[in-house]
Amino acid sequence: MQTITTENRGSGSAILGVVLIILGVVAIMAPLFAAVVLIRVIAWLLIFAAVEQVIYAFRTRTGGGLFLKVVLALLYAVAGVMLLSRPAHGAIAATAVIGFLLIADGVAEIVLGFEVRRTFGRTGWIFAGGILSLCLGALIVYRLPWSMVAVGWLVGIRLLFKGIEHIMRPSAGTRAPDIESRAA
């Protein structure tokens, strides 16, 4: 039997799910906008982290390392301000990092495929995944700055799936007691 609090929690989760789905669709339809918004959010998080780091530095100054903590806070702040002043450049840099990570992942998977082949013999999926990562990473890096659209699409797809998860979660929670009561 559900209580009023779990029913309210479920409707709140469903409302959040709908909002996330709407944001996901907007991000998929306007991926450049989504990438720039994502970079702005990251910039503000860096600025808040800088403030927190300064507070932490002065609260723990007796523990040592005050200078290094303040320098780290300054780096956070500078990075945040730079991203706020040029969010498109930040989105391009984030896209380049993702591209190079995919290239590194592809190379590592291919090397792993050779290593595993010696032991198990069958490594087709490992090689296929490595080649796919390598090709996607190369395509992203080759197509910069236009490939930053991919960052917006990835954010949109993630928001869409997270929204669906939030909508489905309450219904999964209400079905479980029904199944248990039928089994009894």
Q: Which tens digits make up the pLDDT trace of 118-145?
A: 777 777 777 888 898 898 889 889 988 8
pTM of the prediction? 0.65
How many domains does the structure of the chain reveal? 1
For 64: left if phi > 0, alpha if psi spans -120 to 50, otherwise beta; the answer is left
Is there a domain that residue 82 lies in?
A: yes
Q: Nearest Cα to 147, choosing from 89, 95, 73? A: 95
| 2 within domain boundaries | no
pLDDT in tens, 52-107: 999 998 888 777 788 888 999 999 999 999 989 998 888 888 888 888 988 998 89
Residue 95 lies inside a defined structural domain of this protein: yes
Is 49 among the domain residues? yes
C-alpha span between 180 and 163 (Å, rounded): 27
d(CA 131, CA 35): 26
How do residues 17-65 score in pLDDT, each as one tens digit? 999 999 999 999 998 888 888 889 999 999 999 999 999 988 887 777 8
Does some domain include residue 118? yes
Q: Which domain holds residue 76?
A: 9-175
Looking at the domain assignment, is residue 183 inside a domain? no
Residue 180 lies in a domain: no
Q: Is residue 4 included in any domain, yes or no?
A: no
